[in-house]
Amino acid sequence: MFNKILIANRGEIACRIIRSAKKMGIRTVAVFSEADKNAQHVLDADEAAYIGLAPASDSYLSIDKIIEACKKHDVDAVHPGYGFLSEKGNFSEALEKENITFIGPPKDAINAMGDKITSKKVAESAGVSTIPGHVGVIDSLIEGEKIADSIGYPVMIKASAGGGGKGMRVARNASELKENFSLAKSEALKSFDDDRVFIEKFISNPRHIEIQILGDVYGNYVYLGERECSIQRRNQKVFEEAPSPFLKSVVRERMGEQAILLCKAVGYYSAGTVEFVVDRDQNFYFLEMNTRLQVEHPVTELVFGVDLVEEMIRLAAREKLPFKQEDLKPRGWALESRVYAEDPSKKFLPSVGRLTKYKPPDNSVSEDCIIRNDTGVFEGSEISIYYDPMIAKLCTWGPDRNTALIAMRYALDSFVIEGIAHNLSFLSALADNQNIISGEFNTNFLEKEYKNCFSPLDLPDNLRLQFAIIAVCVSKLCQSEFVEPELSVFHGNQPKSDLIVSIGESHFKLSAKRYATEFVVMDEKNREWTVNIDWNRNTSIARSSINGEERVSKIKREGDNLLINYRGFKSSAKVQTLREAELRNFLIQREPEDVSKLLLCPMPGLLISLNVSVGDKVTAGQPLCIIEAMKMENVLRAEKNGIIRKINFKAGLTLNVNDVIIEYE
């Protein structure tokens, strides 16, 4: 077994690998860029090595610097995690030349499966079902147009060396092909240093299901069930689970068998994932093979009780698989929510900044519930523009799917992040969505349900009232009102409703009395609610019970207002006396600033290109410029017809949020 392992990665996956290595008694070495010198993975490791400036090309993608760190710290092996160098055969080869073990598959398997064109050819020859398409590199747009016409729209443009949704674009017609072809090539070059793309038929409304495999150097293989990964935005997974609520057992077995056939065909060993798209009739087609650990591996670990990172390390040390297929029995259900630094209300554009508050739910293990949060950040961490925007992977397990979902809702309710935009409200809404609960969804679910954008849900009447009740109790707590010596009831001496609670445009007349352990709230119709609430000025979580109905809400004070957030429902709340509410009607309202003639930068990023010049006439929907942030290129389009009056920035400059890029006449 190895004495010391270097983790050639960062963030939560580096922390995850360090945990397993420490459990095995193996020392660890973290590598870090200038941006990560104070990162969690650096603190967790036994040793750390600085490897360069913040851009990944100067640090985490530099094979020479990783090798130099390996030599300096005298390591036996390197675990690449996922992303960066994890699927680079030349990295594995460079380590081999230095007699350092690569914790992953052999380089030939990486090269064969890491290239989507080659992998598809291998899959076809191995008897694995594949998607119709052109199995070859597309060199020009003209060639791409001919192939798309022959296949038939819609088509998918895919980076040959791609993964994680990078370099993938759907074209539903020739116009979209023209625009997305160059974007896919550009993203592929930046993410993988390889701009080759190919085109295949886009299968509408499929499920995205993947098979986890393990194999040793002696030719033994097992598959550890499947993961359902259909909830995606921009071809990147958001919400995963194991097993799939859709797949039949006979189809699961066939998919597992074909995944192993593919592994045998390329002499694969280590942990890997074979991904499939599955249509509504449960016909499945090979999509790609990821020859490394997957982001969503924890759900498989929770269901099968197998530490995949530990198994990867043991397999790299040439140990034999410790179990056979018949030994692997799934237990219960697991879910994973990917917590991202992004703004769902702005089409999930990434967000950067400092985590001024970061309070995840506590990890816990019991017979009927597990909560696990894999993360690489802490309160005060900086989310930069240079790397993937994922903050954490929140996982729950239960003996059945419903229990796992209930645990996920509770865990998301209890998760607090402040300082940056994030997707917690969106994830909470997902976990409470009836289609998710019923298992009726596919890869187009987010696009149809939220049109690739998520805004706070409309408050139903009962929730407006409950928000008002919570707000009035929090207001009383803020006033540090004296606690009465004993609990009594109002009976006939009900005081008049002396407060106005505004929840958005709705207004409630309420009165509230605080007693020893609870509040009693009444309205002008003498309806009464007994409220127990656990909240103080130093926390963002309010745990309340209203007439026995329990709820975990997030509350943030903004001036005189409270911002209440619950499972995607969000509203401001203002508590006033009757006189304050009356006088407020005389206040002059400030008109919002008119930005209709401005193109504002929606996120920090690099201005890659400008598609227009001063004086140009533009139409609604026309591409104006491209902003790169967190390895993704984002096209900014005109929202209406107009004429370009002024352009304030040149391509190549870094922009901040709300920088005015273009002004219209």
> Is omega for the bond preceding 460 within 30 degrees of 0, making it cis?
no
Which parts of 183-265 are beta strand (E)?
197-201, 207-215, 221-233, 236-242
* pLDDT for the residue 483: 45
Choice among 226, 288, 301, 633 that is catalytic: 288
Determine the 3-state secondary structure of 370 from DSSP.
strand
Which residues have a Cβ under 8 Å from the Cβ of 627 and sit 6 or more positions away?
601, 602, 603, 605, 606, 607, 608, 633, 634, 636, 655
* pLDDT for the residue 497: 63
Q: Could you tell me the mean pLDDT of each successive run of 10 residues in the chain, 665 residues long?
A: 98 98 98 96 98 95 98 98 95 97 96 87 93 83 91 88 77 92 87 86 90 98 98 90 97 97 96 95 93 97 98 98 97 98 88 93 96 97 90 98 98 96 95 96 91 85 95 86 46 63 92 85 92 90 95 90 92 90 72 86 90 94 89 86 95 91 94
DSSP letters along 10-21, please?
-HHHHHHHHHHH
Question: In the numeric block, which tokens belong to residue 561?
Answer: 């207002």
**Active-site annotation holds for 288:** yes
The reported pTM is 0.84
Determine the 3-state secondary structure of 39 from DSSP.
coil
* pLDDT for the residue 348: 87
Tokens 């197998």 sit on residue: 306
d(CA 551, CA 221): 46
Determine the 3-state secondary structure of 350 from DSSP.
strand
* pLDDT for the residue 480: 62
* pLDDT for the residue 592: 75
* pLDDT for the residue 163: 66
Q: Is the dihedral of CA 389, 569, 361, 227 positive or negative?
A: negative
Angle, vertex CA 611, rays to CA 610 and CA 615, nearest 5: 100
Eight-class DSSP state of 602: -
* pLDDT for the residue 488: 47
